[in-house]
Structure 1
Amino acid sequence: MTDQHGELDAALERVIEAARHHLAAVRAAQGRVDDDDVWQAYVALNNASFAYDEQLLDAFGEVTPWDVDSIDPDEADERFGGEGAEASDPHPRVISVRQRRDYRVPSISALLRAAEAARREGTPEDDEPAPVEGVGEAVLELLQSGDGSLGALDVPELEPLDGVVMVSEVG
């Protein structure tokens, strides 16, 4: 168990170091939205956050508030403005949309039951699904049993509160 804690601490340190590097790159770019150093630092921060989130989930069934997917730096350069992108893309604009939604859980047991029902629906009849053991796992199960969008969380067991949507246009 100590090795697992050490790995989590190291992953968290990588997130912190990547965040510091990203901030330094943003400051150095002085508002230029097409700065390659900012992009590379962003990808490093994203991937460090993703790795930490995965390790935290594996170790404790807990997640961070960051909803990120791993980014392959080479694929991302090709897709989001790497060399030659302007020549092949008649619309060289990319937008970044981030959304955070907050929920109140009026009844943890009701949420766990809803998640277990969703898990049973996705499990073959001859298999006994594992029980859902926590709020984070329940929410993840609802997301996975739905279409993967946050709309899958529009259930009576979760009361939506405020949220934030951020849209940034990147040249």
Structure 2
Amino acid sequence: MTDQHAELDAALEAVFAAARAHLAAVKAADGRIDDDEVWQSYVALNNASYSYDERLLDTFGEVTPWDVESIDPNEADQRFGVGLGGVDGDESGDPYPRVLSVRQRRDYQVPSVAALVRVAEAARRTGLAEDEESAPVEGVGEAVLELLQAGDGSLGALDIPELEPLDGVVMVSEVTEPLAVDAYDDTDGVGPFQPADGDRLVGRLDEHPYAADDELVDDDEAGRVG
């Protein structure tokens, strides 16, 4: 057996060893996200596979079905943020921690109060026993709150024909401290959204309803006619 063949056999054994180590790390992580041992063993398996593929090509002109490229572990850590401080929930290694605040406002037009209340009451009855009665929904504000609670809590729950979206705004800010909801009364609708000293507005996005966009498209198309 030539030295080249021996090196090829050794490269294949390295693939086997790396695959076993990777499997052991995956089992030990048990589904834990961004586990450093899984990442390191993945890189080792990738590079062992790449090395074997290259040696097989050089020795016999054959290739494996593995379409991989060599990974520099140091460069990969910098690029993907894996293996750096803070990956496993420990942010002590990050010299530049940040807290971001996203504030959103969206206004709605109510074409029919009765129709909106009916939809909210139907949402309130969802999940109740057949013999259990739900309290009536009183007013548009309570109707919207009920729909938010019945949905996922996002504005997507209000994407219904009974509400026509108006203009909205989204503001992203870097803040000094995260929100402490218990510091504000339940009736305080201003305090939680009020910027504090030291907060920095990064940017503001103005949102416009889809109906306005459609009208704009129609106007543009009308202007191009002829």
TM-score, normalization: structure 1?
0.47
Greater percentage in helix: 1
TM-score, normalization: structure 2?
0.36
Larger-Rg structure = 2
Instruction: Report which structure shows greater RCO (CA 8 Å, sep ≥6).
Output: 1
